[in-house]
Structure 1
């Protein structure tokens, strides 16, 4: 297993919609191992495959001590009144911005053996499920900011030393 380097804002792979993983692909197990290893570093709640340069539909999560993954996730339900939450992203390091997220989310997908997987939750889990599926659809969290906040965020990002 390998902790993989995180792709940063501006990398084209982050703007691409990810392809489904074909079960049985010999590279899938290696990808999942890398996602699981990489998400376990401190301060990481979730990691989408395209954030490590692989444009395939999978992500790992590390919420409240529970570490896992899902392949070919589909966001099937969100509920509640969207609320402003402080959100950051490993691909936009050093920044947190307020954006609206639903307080509950549910995704479905499969594991490496093709068994059905359902993840759902409130709070940070709901936020992570929405954030990571957005990544797999080629969307960064800053796209969901209110217009003025997005302008300020883009201005700050362009001044970041890593940009």
Structure 2
């Protein structure tokens, strides 16, 4: 299986708000190609361009085993119906957070042909879109945590980083079964 290099927190590119594109040109199509070649191997539902080091407002996702892409996505409407879900992020591996988001959103974006599309997304797809649009706006899932949760995350993250330095391993140690 191909190894995909995902930009990891705290890399500053993840905090940049990506400007909208004025046109679909070859650079945009190349970025889409790059996302499409990495998405099947990243073990996630979707991938924002900045998560692979590309500063363009594009994300790719899988729907019914097909790659789809949204350019310049904007949430136009969101429901008052909220729900919690354990949410992970490829840029913050090994962590999952209880995040509350609207259940249904209406997104406006361009497709790769340059046509404006509106998509109403609910449930998991709606959550995926919100998560990826957050990435393109320089926002991470940890920004949605309360102060106590943020502190816990930072303590665990630092503990894992220290563990990796001591053991020389790039992955956190597996828990022992007693």
Q: Normalising by structure 1, report the TM-score.
A: 0.89
Contact preservation (8 Å) 1:39, 1:60: yes
Deviation, structure 1 residue 24: 3.7
Larger helix share, 1 or 2? 2
CA distance in 2, matches of 1:43, 1:123: 19
Gaps of at least 5 residues in structure 2 are 162-169, 172-178
Deviation, structure 1 residue 71: 0.6
- What pairs up with 1:1-163 in 2 under 5 angstroms? 4-41=4-41, 43-161=43-161
* Of 15-24 and 68-77, the range deviating more from structure 2: 15-24
Structure number with bigger Rg: 2
Which structure has the higher relative contact order (CA within 8 Å, separation 6+)? 1
CA root-mean-square deviation: 2.1
CA distance in 1, matches of 2:56, 2:62: 19
Contact preservation (8 Å) 1:106, 1:129: no
How many residue pairs get aligned? The number is 162
Gaps of at least 5 residues in structure 1 are none
Deviation, structure 1 residue 37: 2.1
CA distance in 2, matches of 1:82, 1:157: 28
- Following TM superposition, the consecutive aligned residue runs of length 4 or more in structure 1 with deviations greater than 4 angstroms are none
Q: Against the structure 1 CA distance between its residues 93 and 75, is the aligned structure 2 distance closer, same or farther, given a 3 Å change threshold?
A: same
CA distance in 2, matches of 1:51, 1:63: 19
Deviation, structure 1 residue 82: 2.1
